[in-house]
Amino acid sequence: MVLQDRAKATRQAIIAGAAAVFEEHGYGKTTLAQVAEAAQVTKGALYFHFQSKEDLAGAVIEEQHRLVVQDAERILAGNRPALSTIILMCRAFGLRLVDEPVVRAGIRLTFEATAFGRTVREPYEDWVATMAELAARSRREGQIRASVDPAALARYIVASFTGVQMVSDVLTGRADVMARIEEMWAILLPGIIAEDWPGDPSELAGLVSGTGPDPVPKAAAPA
């Protein structure tokens, strides 16, 4: 058990080290020697866990996806209204981009995947499917207009978020990414909110910055 725990810790250290190097240098300019140095492991230990740079890049992408899915599952467990859930998922992803090198590296590698023959459709397909399911539920809940197509909205949200965070990275190194995500929602919400919904779209957009009310259902009082 101790050896297994040590092996897991070494593998995670290698992934973290690889993320730091991939984020800084990109796939093409990264070497396994750089990764071993960043992870503070020997080349032998690195090759024990990963046979090639391609395998290592794939592991970083998989870890990035795992972290984002973990956040999404936690938010889904809150049983909030579906539209609030969508916005909070975008918020969580944005915070990961600010705080987590593995997520930043995974995103960079996703856009460089043709360099190492990696198929990166699955994370995007998963994200679009989740957004579409939530959009359909929000329409049933009466928060999104009946005329809005859930699948089309899902594709638009994913594409918009992707573009917003990329431009933020180019212009500010993502220093303003949370403000830009909130801005995205402030622009989008008035066009999809149901006409008879009594709430304020700007408050929903404020969920990104934490200024909007988080509608977590209160537990029922004991009988």
> How high is the pLDDT of residue 3?
58
**CATH code for the domain in which residue 154 is found:** 1.10.357.10
In a domain, 15, yes or no: no
In a domain, 198, yes or no: yes
> How high is the pLDDT of residue 223?
32
Q: In total, how many domains does the chain have?
A: 1
In a domain, 190, yes or no: yes
How wide is the angle at C-alpha 22 spanned by C-alphas 39 and 57, nearest 5°? 85
C-alpha R_g of the chain: 20
> How high is the pLDDT of residue 114?
75
> How high is the pLDDT of residue 220?
35
Q: Which of 35, 39, 34, 30 is nearest to 10 (CA)?
A: 39
Containing structural domain, residue 193 = 52-205
In a domain, 73, yes or no: yes
> How high is the pLDDT of residue 219?
39
In a domain, 212, yes or no: no
Instruction: Tell me which H or E stretch contains 128.
Output: helix 121-140
Asked if residue 94 lies in contact with residue 181, where contact means CB atoms within 8 angstroms, the answer is: yes
> How high is the pLDDT of residue 216?
56
How far is the C-alpha of 36 from the C-alpha of 153, rounded, in Å?
Answer: 43
In a domain, 116, yes or no: yes
In a domain, 41, yes or no: no
In a domain, 72, yes or no: yes
How far is the C-alpha of 123 from the C-alpha of 169, rounded, in Å?
Answer: 20
> How high is the pLDDT of residue 8?
87
pTM: 0.87
**Which pLDDT tens digits describe the chain residue by residue (223 residues)?**
555 778 889 999 999 999 999 999 999 999 999 999 999 999 999 999 999 999 999 999 999 999 999 999 999 999 899 999 999 999 999 999 999 999 999 999 988 887 777 777 888 899 999 999 999 999 999 999 999 999 999 999 999 999 999 999 999 999 999 999 999 999 999 999 999 988 889 899 999 998 766 765 443 333 3
SS3 call for 176: coil
